[in-house]
Copies of this chain bind each other. A is one copy, B any other.
Amino acid sequence: MTSKRPTILVTNDDGITAPGIQALVEVMKEIGEVVVVAPDSPQSGMGHAITINHPLRLDKVEYHGEVLGYQSSGTPVDCVKLAIDKILHRKPDLLVSGINHGSNSSINVIYSGTMSAAMEGGIEGIPSIGFSLGHYSMDADFGPSKKYVKEISEMVLKHGLPDDTLLNVNIPYLKKGEIKGIKVCRQAIAKWQEEFDERMDPNRRKYYWLTGKFENFDNGEDTDEWALANGYVSVVPVQFDFTAHHAISHLNKWKFNV
């Protein structure tokens, strides 16, 4: 007789071959039955994009031994939708996305394909977590992050999450023993100051690369940026009701003349 292990859907936005998702799969194999459905190529910055105007591919791939693996030509959100409808035929017990190569703290939650996949899981009522490591390199060491990924995932499986929420977890890029612990935080008020790098192609036509400078306007010690700068793993509960409820009474004072 086997005890029932949870079904865990794993996805990401760096693509199915990225070291970050492999680290995540290794941790999840210790907790449950793992199904990987991830993009066949990098999809960073895809936000909550879905593919409407093109058909999607979905192909079974050889992955880590006992793990069922699929790659799709779609976005991270497409992968979640395909996994539920075409592979699992039901909702998994947990959805984890990542581990992203690079932080998704503060305003980055909006641009991140990793977080959008987790948000799609949340919309579906699946306990969902996005994990990101504060280092962009493909050679980054995911070792020290693993015990935090495992602990937070097990907590979510055990307790569930408040209705209509998901978690945005960021792990500072520190050596083993240097991480001080886990802090529940709010999203810091921050933005990117965009600066496009303008170049000329061989045909004398201009083109632009998006670059930018990150600006944190938030001095609060209860933010994800503060936690990460001070050596903590940040856990931000995220919602997909985007209503600015506090602004409704303000707008109701306007007298429309139509």
Q: Which residues of A contact B (CB under 8 A)?
A: 42, 44-53, 55-58, 77-78, 81-82, 84-86, 107, 109-111, 116, 119, 123-124, 147-148, 151-152, 155, 159, 161-162, 164-165, 181-182, 184-187, 189, 191, 194-196, 198-199, 205-210, 235-248, 250-252, 254, 256-258
Contact = CB atoms under 8 A, between A and B. Distances in A.
Given A109-B242, A239-B244, 17 more contacts: A42-B53, A44-B52, A47-B49, A47-B50, A58-B208, A81-B194, A81-B210, A82-B208, A147-B258, A155-B256, A162-B244, A162-B250, A181-B258, A182-B256, A189-B241, A237-B244, A239-B243
Given A58-B208, A182-B256, A242 B244 contact: no
A199 B55 contact: yes
A243 B250 contact: no
B184 A251 contact: yes
A164 B110 CA distance: 14
The quantity of this chain's copies bound in the complex is 2
Contact of A52 (B86, B210, B256): B210
10 contacts: A45-B51, A48-B48, A48-B111, A55-B208, A81-B196, A110-B123, A151-B257, A181-B256, A237-B250, A239-B244
A199 B196 CA distance: 41
Contacts of A56: 196, 207-210
A38 B152 CA distance: 42
Nearest to A123: B191
A52 B45 CA distance: 7
A210 B51 CA distance: 7
Contact of A116 (B47, B196, B198, B199): B47
Nearest to A44: B52
A45 to B, nearest CB: 4
Contacts of A240: 107, 110, 242
